[in-house]
Structures are given as C-alpha cells and as structure tokens.
Amino acid sequence: MSLSLKRWLAAGVAAAALAPGLAAAQSAPVAEWQLDTIIQPSPFRGVHGLAVAPDGEVLGGSVVGQQIIGVDPVSGKARVIVDRPAGQADDLVIAPDGRIVWTAFLSGEVRAISGDALQGKAAPVQVLATGLPGINSLDFDDGGRLYATRVFLGDALYEIDPTGATPAKQLLEGMGGLNGFEIRGRTLTGPLWFKGKLARVNLDDPKVEAFAEGFKVPAAANLEADGKVVALDTVTGEVKRVDPMTGAATVITKLNPALDNLAIGEDGTIYVSNMAEGAIFQIDPKTGGTHTIIKGDLA
C-alpha cells in the first residue's frame, strides 16, 4: 500500500469517527436569547419646523425623517400625522382654511393636506409649487396670501398660490438666508441666517430692512402678541426677545446649540425645536422656565 493511500484511509477513518459528534452538534437546539432595548428610538429623525394646531397640539416637521408628527405638550405623546415620504417638512403652518401646509426642502415642493389629517383621517397630499430646491420657511399673511423662502439651496422670497393653480412668483433674491419667519399684516419678520441679523420686509414693496444684529447665526423669529420678536441663535442656543423698534435684545433662556425653529401658542407659550437632539422645548415667556416636551436620546 502506498504512503499516500495510507494517509487517505487514515483521514477517512478520522472523519467517520468525528461524524456522529458533528451531527449531534448540528442538531442540538440553539441557545435561547432575548433582545433588550437599551435606549428607546427617537420619534423624530431631526425636528425642524413647528406649528401649534387649534387644539394646542404641537406639530413638528422632519426633513430626514420625512414625517409631520403631532406632540401632546402635556404628556409628550407623539403620533404621525403625515407619514413618509410625503411628510418631508422643513417648516409648516396651519392655513386659514385649516389645511397643513409645509415645505419639502429636498424635493423642492410646497405641499398641503386637509385639516382632516389632524383628526387621524386619510387625505390626499396636494402639491402647491414645484421646482424650488431648498424651499425652507413659509407663512400666510392676514389676508390668506402665502409666502415662502429658499435657503441654502437658493436664496429667494416667493409668493405661492394657495390653490396650486399658478407657479410660484419670485419677489426677492439674495437676502442673506431669510429663514424661519412670521407675517403680521403685510410685514414679514425673520432672521438673515448668513448675516447675523433680524430683518423685516414690506410685502407691498419688497425690500429687506435689518433692525437687529449681534447674532451668531439667527435661525428663526416669531412675534409675540405685543409685537416683540422672539428669535433663536442656533450657534449660542440663546432664545432672545427683541424690541423691533430699537433692536435691543434680552435673553429669555439658553438651550443647547442647534436650535432650528419656534412657534408661539395662543397663550404666549414659546415652543422651540433642536434639530440635533430631536427635541421640542416649552418655554414660559415670563420666567424663561423650560420644560422638555419630547427628546430623542439617539436623534
């Protein structure tokens, strides 16, 4: 018998001897295991624009998460109002007719859905404007006319047809990043992201007039009942109150950086979003006391 044949036979005998053990190992039951949740998922994949519904529910939009989510300001319980991908929202507003209207930043569209969505009812999404990459912030004036701005992927102010029947009309460009704004009467008030200033625009004669400075990067500005401006600095995390006549500012409170947007409720309560933390904060306008409504530990 050759040496190679002897080795081949020896290998065969060894394999035969091991076979029962291997078969037993393969047929043995898999050890039991369990999945433990260490950190709960965040309701938001980054929260951006905010609006307060008529019943006081806080609505938050997410660009990356592509959802509009409603949050109970008392319990912090969250629910999906417009699901992905249609819900991609950088900013949102409740229209005079009750619709939710929002900006789909990446898709370059202004979208709307019936107020029935707030009641959990299915409703189609309407596209009001297209071809506007970077469409960012929006608001209605007191007469129901709709305005929106492009920031980062453009720098312009538009009037949007609320019915979607006619294309968007450009009014201004090169403002300096007119971000989260509010309109009262025919005056638009908002921040200039790239200039560190707050500004106003007379919508009947569109020109940018700066009235406050000293911000690192102002992200949003809304109006209180008395006309004072509440503004966010996304770099410093400061929430400021600004006199629109003098530009003088006081700090209401300071949060972590990455503040994105705000909304003010009927009772004057201030709501602020932090896009990095996936959080919405509730701020007492008189004391500056802050309460976390919702926050993602892994945003």
Segment 184-189 shows an average pLDDT of 98
Q: Is residue 40 part of a domain?
A: no
Does a cis peptide bond (omega within 30 degrees of 0) precede residue 218?
A: no
In a domain, 141, yes or no: yes
Q: Quick check: is 137 in a domain?
A: yes
Number of domains in the chain: 1
What is the pLDDT, as a whole number, of residue 2? 43
Question: Is position 109 within any domain?
Answer: yes
Residue 44: per-residue pLDDT: 64
Sign of CA pseudo-dihedral 214, 216, 220, 224:
negative
Across 245-268, average pLDDT: 98
Mean pLDDT value of segment 200-220: 98
- Tell me the pairing of strands 135-140 and 146-150: antiparallel
pLDDT at res. 33 = 78
pLDDT at site 29: 58
Can you list the alpha helix ranges (DSSP code H) found in the chain? 3-27
Mean pLDDT value of segment 134-150: 98
Q: Over the range 227-242, which residues count as b (16 or more CB within 10 Å of their CB) and which as e?
A: eebbbbbbebbbbbbb
Structural domain of 191: 49-295
What is residue 158's predicted lDDT score, i.e. its pLDDT?
99
What is the Cα–Cα distance from 171 to 48, expressed in whole angstroms? Answer: 25
8 A C-beta contact, residue 79 and residue 89: no
Residue 63 belongs to domain with CATH number: 2.120.10.30
Residue 31 covered by a domain: no
- Residue 76 in domain: yes
- The verdict on residue 85 lying in a domain is yes
Contacts of 151 (CB under 8 A, 6+ apart): 134, 136, 137, 177, 178, 179, 193
pLDDT of 4-54, one tens digit each? 434 443 444 444 444 454 444 455 555 687 877 666 666 666 899 999 999
In a domain, 9, yes or no: no
Q: Which residue has the higher pLDDT, 223 or 9?
A: 223
What is the pLDDT of the chain when averaged over all its residues? 90
Query: What is the arithmetic mean of pLDDT over 71-85?
Result: 96
The pTM score is: 0.86
